[in-house]
Homo-oligomer: A and B are copies of this chain.
Amino acid sequence: MADSGSLQVLVEGLRRLPGVGAKSASRMAFHLLQHDRAGAQALARALTQAVDHVRHCALCHTFTEDEICSTCADPRRDASKLCVVETPADQSAVERTAAFKGRYFVLMGRLSPLDGIGPRDIGMHELIERACDGVVQEVILATNFTAEGEATAHAIASALKSRGLAVTRLARGVPAGSELEYVDLSTIAHALVDRR
């Protein structure tokens, strides 16, 4: 598109974003340069700032700008409960429920041998260390209910149970507000088994 090297480089840069192909990247570049140059400059600054300042919390591995994130540093959180999630977005979803007042461990990914993501990449060692600190009484596995999330939960559960820790998993069941007729059978089967 047009004869500009900078433009070509910008389109290539935008293509590195997940879910953005050649056409979307062109459209984004066109939009930024034609209608929102201030937005392009703001985005450039935001990228540099984030790369320079965002790092991982030493305790829970989530993104933070400090040594310890605010959740880990908050003395009002119940340190006896540790919730394991895959990403900061998942952590944020659990937080928004306001139903959990414990602490978190964010894997920043999930086990995925096919992509070369092993226990080391999700901080398995640090998680075990943290869970075995003597304060944590219960580890709640809140990884996704996908094949990889389940496998990750299983691997963590095995490692922690062998060390005598109480490990629980988020309940599987019928989503709030749904009609049984439209719920998939595997979910109903799980809800039947786990009835209470």
Cβ of A191 under 8 Å from chain B: no
Asked if B65 and A27 sit within 8 Å, CB to CB, the answer is no
Q: How far is the CA of A40 from the CA of B37 in the complex (A)?
A: 18
Cβ of A48 under 8 Å from chain B: yes
Q: How far is the CA of A50 from the CA of B91 in the complex (A)?
A: 36
Task: Specify the chain B residue showing the minimal Cβ separation from A65.
Answer: B4
Cβ of A54 under 8 Å from chain B: yes
Q: With A49-B6, A62-B2 as known contacts, state yes or no: A27 contacts B89, CB within 8 Å.
A: yes
Cβ of A39 under 8 Å from chain B: yes
| Chain A residues bordering chain B, tally (CB within 8 A) | 59
Asked if A6 and B88 sit within 8 Å, CB to CB, the answer is no
Q: Which residues of B contact A2 (CB under 8 A)?
A: 62-64, 69, 88, 91-92
Indicate with 1 or 0, residue by residue over A62-88, a CB within 8 angstroms of chain B CB atoms: 111100011100000000000000011
Q: Which residues of B contact A171 (CB under 8 A)?
A: none
Asked if B51 and A47 sit within 8 Å, CB to CB, the answer is no
Interface-forming stretch among A17-25, A139-147, A173-181? A17-25
Cβ of A32 under 8 Å from chain B: yes
Q: Which residues of B contact A69 (CB under 8 A)?
A: 2-3
Q: Which residues of B contact A9 (CB under 8 A)?
A: 46, 49-50
Asked if A51 and B46 sit within 8 Å, CB to CB, the answer is no
| CB of A60 to closest CB in B, whole Å | 10
Q: Which residues of B contact A53 (CB under 8 A)?
A: 4, 6
Q: How far is the CA of A186 from the CA of B3 in the complex (A)?
A: 36
Q: How far is the CA of A7 from the CA of B51 in the complex (A)?
A: 9
Show 27 A/B contacts (Cβ-Cβ < 8 Å), sorted by A. Answer: A1-B88, A2-B63, A2-B64, A2-B69, A3-B64, A3-B71, A6-B46, A6-B52, A6-B53, A6-B54, A7-B54, A10-B50, A13-B39, A13-B42, A13-B45, A14-B17, A16-B39, A16-B43, A17-B31, A17-B43, A30-B89, A32-B47, A37-B51, A41-B51, A43-B44, A44-B44, A47-B47
